[in-house]
Amino acid sequence: MEDRRRGGRAAGDRTWRGSARLAVGCAAGFGGVTLLVDWDAGTLTPVRALLWVTLSAAILVMLLPARVTAGPGWLAVRGPLRGRTVRTDSLVYVGQYGDVSAHLVLRDTAGNRLELDPNVLHANPLLWHELDTGVRRSLDRGTLRRGTEVLAQLGHEIDDTNARAVLKASGLT
């Protein structure tokens, strides 16, 4: 996909479509089953049908994953309700919070902030490469002063995962 803001090539989350299909399937399944059960019981009215459709839409919004894209010097996370973008070449802070469901927090010099699931970076080496390149530029410029240890640990985890995948694919494990 082309990045229209800078004319460059953008890297995207290659697992997003499958996750989005699962979210749509779950929401449609819930809506279909609830409408069918209500209709079978003879209690389906237009108001109740609207309720089930609204609840299905809410489930879709909750389950739909954020779409992550990156390009030279930027990273964007677009959810169903809003989108956020940071300049990775001018980051001032990188942090991680949470244990079971960890989130990576990025802030740039313009005050932009976004949260990102690190598993997206694990599954998409091109996204990780764009982020890592931007982080190196931030370090060279001296803007990134907090969070380098979080990125170093994440980088080691991603490298280990990729090395294991290569070894497994080549039959060496």
Taking only the tens place, the pLDDT of each residue in 44-84 is: 999 999 999 999 999 999 999 999 999 999 999 998 888 99
Q: How far is CA 34 from the centre of its chain?
A: 30
> Across the chain, what does the average pLDDT equal?
89
pLDDT of 5 higher than 80: no
Mean pLDDT of 13-38: 94
Asked if 42 and 30 touch (Cβ cutoff 8 Å), the reply is no
- Rounded to the nearest 10°, the torsion over CA 105, 110, 111, 114 is -30
Q: What's this model's pTM, rounded to 2 decimal places?
A: 0.77
108 Cβ partners below 8 Å, 6+ apart? 86, 87, 88, 90, 91, 92
Q: Where are the beta strands (DSSP E) in 10-82?
A: 11-12, 67-71, 74-78
pLDDT of 89 higher than 50: yes
The per-residue pLDDT for range 119-157, each reduced to its tens digit, is 899 888 889 999 999 999 999 999 988 888 888 888 888
pLDDT for residue 4: 42
